[in-house]
Amino acid sequence: MILENFMAYKYARIQLNPGLNLILGPNGAGKSSLLLALSVALGQAHTERSRKLSDLIRWGEEIARVTLIFDNRPINGKRPSQKIRSDELIITKYIRKDGEYWHQINFKPVTKIEVQEIINSFGIDPDNMLIIMQQYMIEQIVRMSPQEKLQSIERALGLVSFREKINDAKIKLQSTVGEEKVVVTLLSEAEKTLNKWKEEVNKLTKRDSLRLRLEELEIELLWYKRENMNQIKEENEKKYESIKNKLKEIEALLSRYSAQ
């Protein structure tokens, strides 16, 4: 972090190493100014609302500048900020005496929103009091509810996206369970309808079977009647021939007696 004309600092360059960094010194040495400079460069809303940025310019100067240099070298083949292709990511905030301020990334003008997007890619939330805690924020943390403290810890650890994914998964699961219940209900209704139609089909099948049997019996009856009539006809013809023959015999006898 580099400070230029910021509060009591004409020029200061602070190397922040991985892990724990301690800034020691007596009261009034400018320790809080370093934390404030970091807050301003990251765009902490608490800092921007609580004071005029122009008051942070060193006495007698017209412009102040705070620069943060991030290590953007690839980790496991992936850079922390995919939008910046260089190994160093340089965020600079300028503050002018008339109250105007602007940002640069790698010495190119950008908007505050673009700076926030870049900072978020490093997992930094400057408005989270567990990331940057000013002295006046301690009482605010004490007054926070357990849920608010949990949310601050999750934001500080970069777990918000996981929490959102979990909530989305729960919503999808509830939706899936609801859809499953609807499907089960529809299947149950469909099964009832199917069983009803099976009964109807069985009735129709049985009726068709009975109708077919009836037709077969009617045909058998007609055949039997025909056979019976043929048999009666043959018997009648035989009787007729027998009677006819007897008549001929009687007529012959009568003729014989008449001749005598």
**Residue 29 domain-assigned (yes or no):** yes
Domain assignment present for 243: no
Q: What's 83's domain CATH number?
A: 3.40.50.300
Q: Residue 241 falls within a domain, yes or no?
A: no
Structurally, the chain folds into a number of domains equal to 1
Domain assignment present for residue 102? The answer is yes
Residue 49: what pLDDT?
44
Decide if 221 is inside a domain. Answer: no
List the domain range (segments joined by +) for residue 111: 2-127
137 domain residue, yes or no: no
Who contacts 83 (Cβ-Cβ below 8 Å, separation ≥6)?
Answer: 117, 118, 121
Does a structural domain hold residue 70?
A: yes
* The model scores a pTM over 0.85: no
Residue 207 belongs to some domain of the structure? no
Q: Note the pLDDT of residue 139.
A: 66
Q: What does the pLDDT look like over 72-131, one tens digit per residue? A: 999 888 888 888 889 999 999 999 998 899 999 999 999 989 998 888 887 777 666 555
Residue 186 in this model has a pLDDT that exceeds 70:
yes
